[in-house]
């Protein structure tokens, strides 16, 4: 898409959601939206099964790898090990508020150590020619004044980070679950708009609570460089076809597949992927929202949730599931 910022629309990294099967599925619905991996810790890459953690299908491009960690040397080593896999971006998680992540001294708590984040960015950049970006919040706990955020962005951008994804809520590091941290702290979009005005040369991507085309257009009109969509993309994935055609101006250039087309494509994908280490459920669990709001959606979800979990469930079950939905869009 000539002239369109490759970060204009993206789907957020979501733990237990945006694994490689989910991303392949989403890519069928939005060919030009930027996708992000689940957060992978630098330690897991250094000591775990790299192929299991990092491999992906070429169809998933453009794709960012999100890393978690706070040790510059360990993050640099992880970037070095990830380099051959061919990601398009390395993103550092400075936004996750979970207590487990905080106990590891990374995620949102790192906002309190901008100098350390800057060193992490520099170390990662030294190992890769890819863009190294940062996903963060607008503040943490009672450190939520604009000056705190401005100073954080100033220090980290001085280290070479040119793209920031900013969740327009502060993070409360104790007392709230990650889900509550996505809902209870108020959304302060104007803070992110102000950040873009103060740092016009940086790419500022807004994240948090975006679930309508109108909201996307409003935020883009306010001057941010892009928006990142979170739970809406997982709960109602077919909505991404409207984002592709209605926001990225693909009308007439790309024909959205029917839902049935997508099911058929995922059945073909499942034939290639299912085996000893991958069960059908690992794939179909990400598809349960495909018929969101459509006739037969509940029966379809129930069918995949129950039958798809069987040990011997095969790809043909996906095609059989189409009997659960009605209307012209059911077929392929």
CA distance 38 to 56: 12
Query: Going from the N-terminus, what domains does the chain have, and what CATH number goes with each?
Result: 9-246 (3.20.20.70), 259-330 (1.20.120.1460)
Q: Give percent of the chain above pLDDT 90.
A: 86
Q: Cα–Cα–Cα angle for 150, 65, 3, nearest 5°?
A: 70
Residue 30 clears pLDDT 90, i.e. is over it = yes
User: In this predicted structure, what is the pLDDT of residue 251?
Assistant: 67
Residue 332 clears pLDDT 50, i.e. is over it = no
**pLDDT class for 3, splitting at 50, 70, 90?**
low
User: In this predicted structure, what is the pLDDT of residue 89?
Assistant: 99
Q: Is 309 a catalytic residue?
A: no
Q: Which bin fits 296, alpha (ψ -120 to 50), beta or left (φ > 0)?
A: left
pLDDT mean across residues, the chain: 94
CA dist 129 → 87, 88, 89, 90, 95 (Å): 11, 10, 9, 10, 24
Q: What is the pLDDT of residues 300-309, one digit of tens each?
A: 999 999 999 9
User: In this predicted structure, what is the pLDDT of residue 245?
Assistant: 92
Q: What is the pLDDT of residues 121-164, one digit of tens each?
A: 999 999 999 999 999 999 999 999 999 999 999 999 999 999 99
Mean pLDDT across 171-183: 87
User: In this predicted structure, what is the pLDDT of residue 328?
Assistant: 46
| Choice among 17, 22, 30, 96 that is catalytic | 96
120: CB partners within 8 A, 6+ apart: 69, 70, 71, 72, 75, 92
Q: What is the pLDDT of residues 196-235, one digit of tens each?
A: 999 999 999 999 999 999 999 999 999 999 999 999 999 9
């Amino acid at each position: 898409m000539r002239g369109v910022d490759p970060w204009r629309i993206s789907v957020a990294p979501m733990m237990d959601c945006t694994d490689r099967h989910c991303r392949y599925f989403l890519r069928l619905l939005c060919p030009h939206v930027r996708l992000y991996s689940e957060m992978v810790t630098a330690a897991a890459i250094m000591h775990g099964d790299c192929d299991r953690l990092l491999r992906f299908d070429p169809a998933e491009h453009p794709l960012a790898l999100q890393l978690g960690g706070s040790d510059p040397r360990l993050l640099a080593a992880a970037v070095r090990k990830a380099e051959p896999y061919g990601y398009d971006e390395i993103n550092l998680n400075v936004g996750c508020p979970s207590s487990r992540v905080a106990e590891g001294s990374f995620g949102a708590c790192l906002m309190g150590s901008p100098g350390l984040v800057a060193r992490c960015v520099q170390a990662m950049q030294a190992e890769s020619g890819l863009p190294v970006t940062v996903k963060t919040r607008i503040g943490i706990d009672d450190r939520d004044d604009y000056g705190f955020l401005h100073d954080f962005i100033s220090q980290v951008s001085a280290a070479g980070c040119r793209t920031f994804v900013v969740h327009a809520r502060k993070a409360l590091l104790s007392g709230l679950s990650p889900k509550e941290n996505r809902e209870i702290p108020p959304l302060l979009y104007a803070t992110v708009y102000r950040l873009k005005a103060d740092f016009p040369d940086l790419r500022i991507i807004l994240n948090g609570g975006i679930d309508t085309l109108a909201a996307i257009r409003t935020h883009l009109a306010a001057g941010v460089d892009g928006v990142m969509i979170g739970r809406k993309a997982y709960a109602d994935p077919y909505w991404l076809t409207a984002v592709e055609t209605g926001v990225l101006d693909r009308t007439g250039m790309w024909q959205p597949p029917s839902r049935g087309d997508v099911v058929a494509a995922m059945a073909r994908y499942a034939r290639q992927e299912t085996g000893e280490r991958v069960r059908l459920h690992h794939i179909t669990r990400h598809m349960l929202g495909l018929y969101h709001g459509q006739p037969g959606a509940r029966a379809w979800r129930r069918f995949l949730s129950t039958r798809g979990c069987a040990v011997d469930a095969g790809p043909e079950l996906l095609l059989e599931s189409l009997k659960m939905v009605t209307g012209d869009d059911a077929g392929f």
